[in-house]
Amino acid sequence: MLCGTMMSRSTAATAAWLALAAHGPAAFPAASAVLFPLAHPSAVAQDAGASVTVNEEGFAARAVGEVAGPGGLLEGDAGIVTFEDLNTLLIWRDGKGPNGDAALRQLLELRVIRAKGRAEGIEITEAMLDDRYRELDVEAKAAGSAGGLKEFIASQGVELEQFREYLELSMIHETLTRRALGIPAGGEVSGDQQQIWLEQELKDRGFEPREHPWDEGVVCISGDVVITRKEFGDHLRSQVDDADEREACYLILLERAVRARMPEVTAEGANKALDREIERRAAEASANPDYQGVAYDRLLEARGLSIEALRLDPAIRAAALAHEAVDRRHDDESLRKVYEEERDFFDSRFGEAVELSVLFKNATEEEDNPLVPSFRKVERELREMKAAIAGPEDFARVVEIHSQDKSTRERGGLLGQITRAGSSKELADLRSAAFAVVDATPDDIAGTIIGPIRIENGVLLGMLGARTPAPTWPEMRDHVHRELRGRFLNETLDRRSVATYLDPR
């Protein structure tokens, strides 16, 4: 069994790894979670025409459109992300953490098997690969993949050539294990036997790590196998989900665009802004009870990060400059003016709120609809239910039995927080009823049942939970400041202005 330490795979190496990891129907499970998620993944709309250029020119990503044109923030080389740029970011973010350790382990295993097979003169012919491919194809169909192995590989975004390369390594691994254990050619060898052999081989070879971030170009040495920084960066990148790669490319370009938009900020000024950003993040971590007072640098270390890594992260650098930009443009008075001008917007997101759980039943205006009962009938039923509900536990039980909204039913009826302000017309009556109770008894609302209340396609009962009071001005000021920072970044570089090598040709 090759690379047994890898726990989840959903990127270009997924299907190839599965072929290595097991020989049988178990080799074809549903794709699992992303191995190496970056912070804040987001889907990115792309310009397909521009992506062809990216693929053809060998760049990881480039800016397209007006921002990359003459006089644009990302004109010329500033708008290009090389694979080295992308690898460097991933090496700083993940190279020392658990994900990086797992990726390095996998790469080392692959390289050791290749080197050992070459040393022992093991050759896997094309005919042998074809035979194994056909076996796996039969097993893939038996496991439910109608189109067989080819369809499965394509669904994982893996090139056939890459799959066959990994399949070859899997067969070399089997052969090496048979030889070591004295098992005749063609004899069965288990995944455990393969893993035990590999563990012993790695132990015999030894492991010499070099210091992160491997500026001298070597990550580690194991016998005659040398893992270079470039090899590791490429392999680490192959384990990252496509959406996260796109986000990383976007952040690299975003930081450059923000820097170009703020030429008045000197290098010293940018460094001071970065100091303040990291200090703010450290203070937030210190105030978070979940971290139990653990020092910020220790929290970072536990994730394989460091203050130095943060200082080089384009997301942190862009955030620092965005904070600086808003600070330069706004004081307390102007932030309050922004709030007053957009009060509904801010109050609907950050204002006074109350937790709400709901019981929903479908209804229609038609009195004689054989499939959906009328509003009047459902309202009558819900009034009877309301009268019988003695408290929160009763409400949750009735929701489980009667509610027809699956998403809230699975959470015991929990809808979430609703604010006093809001633009949803459908929830206007619900909001009014909830805050009528809040206004009457603001300190004793938990467990209060409201309704029945009609909405467009049904009727609901609501149960109030905890109340969140309106924020103080200093609290709301922070929300306004954060919103303006987000707007500044979005204005600086639209995600649609970034094309990557991952986009469809």
Report d(CA 309, CA 264) in Å as an integer: 25
Amino acid at 180: A
Report d(CA 428, CA 425) in Å as an integer: 5
CATH number of domain containing 424? 3.10.50.40
Co-location of 41 and 173 in the same domain: yes
Q: ∠255-259-263 over CA atoms, to 5°?
A: 175
Long-range contacts, 204-208 (Cβ 8 Å, 24+): 205/112, 207/108
Query: Taking the complete model, does pTM exceed 0.85, yes or no?
Result: no
Co-location of 51 and 172 in the same domain: yes
Co-location of 111 and 235 in the same domain: yes
**pLDDT score recorded for residue 13:** 36
**pLDDT score recorded for residue 425:** 78
Co-location of 356 and 238 in the same domain: no
Length in residues, the chain: 505
C-beta separation of 305 from 93 below 8 A:
yes
- Residue 333 lies inside a defined structural domain of this protein: no
Co-location of 37 and 185 in the same domain: yes
- Residue 35 lies inside a defined structural domain of this protein: yes
**Residue 422 belongs to domain spanning:** 352-468
- Residue 29 lies inside a defined structural domain of this protein: yes
Count: domains in the chain: 2
**pLDDT score recorded for residue 62:** 97
Co-location of 236 and 379 in the same domain: no
Co-location of 234 and 373 in the same domain: no
Alpha-helical runs (H) found in 331-472: 332-341, 343-350, 375-388, 392-402, 406-409, 428-440
Task: Pull the structure tokens for residue 362.
Answer: 């479908």
Give the end of a domain, one of 224, 242, 260. 242
Co-location of 53 and 188 in the same domain: yes
- Residue 367 lies inside a defined structural domain of this protein: yes
**pLDDT score recorded for residue 57:** 63
Q: How far is CA 54 from CA 156, 278, 422, 455, 505, in A?
A: 22, 34, 43, 49, 9
Co-location of 224 and 356 in the same domain: no
**pLDDT score recorded for residue 1:** 36
Report d(CA 217, CA 395) in Å as an integer: 63
**pLDDT by position in tens, the chain (length 505):** 333 332 233 333 333 433 433 333 223 222 222 222 222 222 223 333 333 345 556 899 999 999 999 999 999 999 999 999 999 999 999 999 999 999 999 999 999 999 999 999 999 999 999 999 999 999 989 988 889 998 888 887 788 888 999 999 999 999 999 999 999 988 899 999 999 999 999 999 999 999 999 999 999 999 999 999 999 999 999 888 899 999 999 999 999 999 999 999 999 999 999 999 999 999 999 999 999 999 999 999 999 999 999 999 999 999 999 999 999 999 999 999 999 999 999 999 999 999 999 999 999 999 989 899 999 999 999 999 999 999 999 999 999 999 999 999 999 999 999 998 877 777 889 999 999 999 998 778 999 999 999 998 999 999 999 999 999 999 999 999 999 999 999 999 999 999 999 998 7
Co-location of 231 and 358 in the same domain: no
Query: Residue 479 gets which letter from DSSP?
Result: H
- Residue 257 lies inside a defined structural domain of this protein: no
- Residue 382 lies inside a defined structural domain of this protein: yes
Co-location of 364 and 222 in the same domain: no
Residues 6 or more apart from 370 whose CB is under 8 A from it?
A: none
Beta strands in 210-268 (DSSP E): 218-222, 225-228
Report d(CA 216, CA 212) in Å as an integer: 10
**pLDDT score recorded for residue 174:** 95
151 half-sphere exposure, CB direction, 13 A CA radius = 11
Give the end of a domain, one of 195, 220, 242. 242
Report d(CA 13, CA 9) in Å as an integer: 7
Backbone angles phi, psi at 114, to 5 degrees: -60, -45
Give the end of a domain, one of 212, 242, 272. 242
Co-location of 27 and 152 in the same domain: yes
